[in-house]
Each structure stands twice: as C-alpha cells, then as structure tokens.
Structure 1
C-alpha cells in the first residue's frame, strides 16, 4: 500500500483498525509511535547494487485502554511526517511488536488495514546457483521433508 492509498482509505473511515495476517485485531488502543523514512542500500548475491526506500510506521500498544486514534488524527500525523518523508508516494511497511519486532506490508480491505506477511527472496536467482527445481517458497520449505539426498538441506 502506498501513502496516497492510506490517506484515501482514512478519509472514508469512522475508526482506524489493524489486523495481523492471521486475522487477529490489534487492540483498539494502539499508538502510531513513529513514522519514518527507511532507506536500504545493498548488493544482492549476484553483485547488483540496489536501493529501496519505504515509509515505515511503528505501531505500539500501552496500558492506556481509553486511547483511540481517529482517522483525522492519523491523517494529521501523515501530514506532519511530510517533513521527513517528503511528498513521494512511498510504499508503507509497518513494524509491530510480537515476540520480536515484526515487519509487515500493508493492505486495506475496505474496513480494516491488514498487516501482510513479508518474506525474503533471492533477487539474483540466475546468479546464485540454486537450480529452479530446488527453490522453495518459505511455506513449502517448512512442509518439505528433508531426507538425506533429498536436495532440500
């Protein structure tokens, strides 16, 4: 989800709610504790230099159970964050504390903002040396039975 899409969604809401990938709702008393600009400059395993920049929102919950973030207040936070983010229509990633800080993508289903799972990937599959028949998506790898000579471990 991009910043412009979030602003559009917030304009039509009477309340702001977030759900985790498993459908669990974040407590209604969450806070947006940070809005930041995260830039990543790296080299992939094929030697290609890459850059990524996203708007990062950190969500947090405390014991102040009467706290509610209204859509207009969230829009005001986004307006203030233009000092840092500029006016570029960046993709949004969300940090939320679980067993460790989780990093999520963001989507909107018409009612709730949905934290979406993010996964790692090889950006240079042609250069990394793993044959196509041995590349697994994370859920497949977790279900694969690793046996000697099976090629998965």
Structure 2
C-alpha cells in the first residue's frame, strides 16, 4: 500500500484499526511513534547493486489505555513528514513490537489496515545457483488408467 492510498483511506475513517496477520487487532490505544523514510542501498548475492525506499510507520503501545489516534491527526503527521522529510509516494512498511521488532507490509480491507507478513527472498536466483522449483503434482490427481495395456507396446 502506498502513502497516498493510506491518506485516502484515512479520510474515510472515523477510527483507525490495525489488524495483525493472525486476525487480532493492535490495541486501540496504539501510538504512531515514527513516520520515516527508510532507504536501503545494497548489493545482492548476484552482484547487482540495488536501492529500495519505503515509508516507515512504527506502532507502539503504552499504558495510556484511553489514548486514541484519530485519522485527522495521523493525516497531519503524514503531511508534516512529507514536507519535512521529502517523502515520496512509495510503499508503506509498518514496525510493531513482537518478540523483537517485526516488519509488515500494509493493506486495507475497507475498515482496518491489515499488517501483512513479509518474507525473505533471494533476488538473484538466476545467478546464485538456486534451482527452479519443480511443478508439484498430487498423485491423486494423476490419471487412474493403468500405464500399460495389453495392446500398449510397453512390455
């Protein structure tokens, strides 16, 4: 989900909800403690230099259970961040505390922002020797006819 999409969704909401991949909601007294620009300049295992940029939101819970972040306040924080940090309309990455800091992608279902699981991956499979995945076939889906027949010339 891009920054412009988040702002558009916020304009339609009365309350903000974030849902974890397991379906539970982030406690409603969450804070957005950071809105930032994260730039990653790296080289992959195949030798290609890459640049990635995301906008980062960090969600945090305190013991101020009556706190609520309203959509218009988050829009204000985003707009200030765009102005001060020069944020572009790029994908959003969300940090939230689990056993360690967890990073999520972001989606929206019309009511809640959905924190989506992210996966590691090799970016240079063609250069670092990772075999291509073979097509998996269920044995139950194979043709039930015998492979040989009396007139099949297989024996």
Normalised-by-shorter TM-score class? 0.7 to 0.9
Q: Choose 30-39 or 82-91, whichever is displaced more.
A: 82-91
Note if contact 2:81-2:87 (Cα within 8 Å) is conserved in structure 1: no
| TM-score, length basis structure 1 | 0.85
Q: What's the counterpart of residue 140 of structure 1?
A: none
Greater helix percent: which structure? 1
Q: Confirm or deny that 1:76 pairs with 2:76.
A: yes
SS in 2 for 1:8: helix
Structure 2: 5+ residue runs without aligned partners? 135-155
| CA RMSD across the alignment | 1.1
SS in 2 for 1:26: coil
Q: Once the two structures are superposed, what CA deviation does each residue of 1:47-91 show, in whole Å capped at 9, x if it has no partner? A: 000000000000000000000000000101101111344252011
Q: Once the two structures are superposed, what CA deviation does each residue of 1:96-124 show, in whole Å capped at 9, x if it has no partner? A: 00100000000000000000000011111
- Distance between the aligned counterparts of 2:39 and 2:129, measured in 1? 28
SS in 1 for 2:9: helix
1:133 Cα offset (Å): 3.1
Q: What's the counterpart of residue 67 of structure 1?
A: 67
> Over alpha carbons, which structure has the higher Rg?
2
Q: What's the counterpart of residue 121 of structure 1?
A: 121
Structure 1 residue ranges, 4+ long, deviating more than 6 angstroms after superposition: none
- Distance between the aligned counterparts of 2:28 and 2:68, measured in 1? 6
Q: What's the counterpart of residue 153 of structure 2?
A: none
| TM-score, length basis structure 2 | 0.84
- Distance between the aligned counterparts of 2:84 and 2:96, measured in 1? 21
Q: Aligned residues, how many?
A: 134
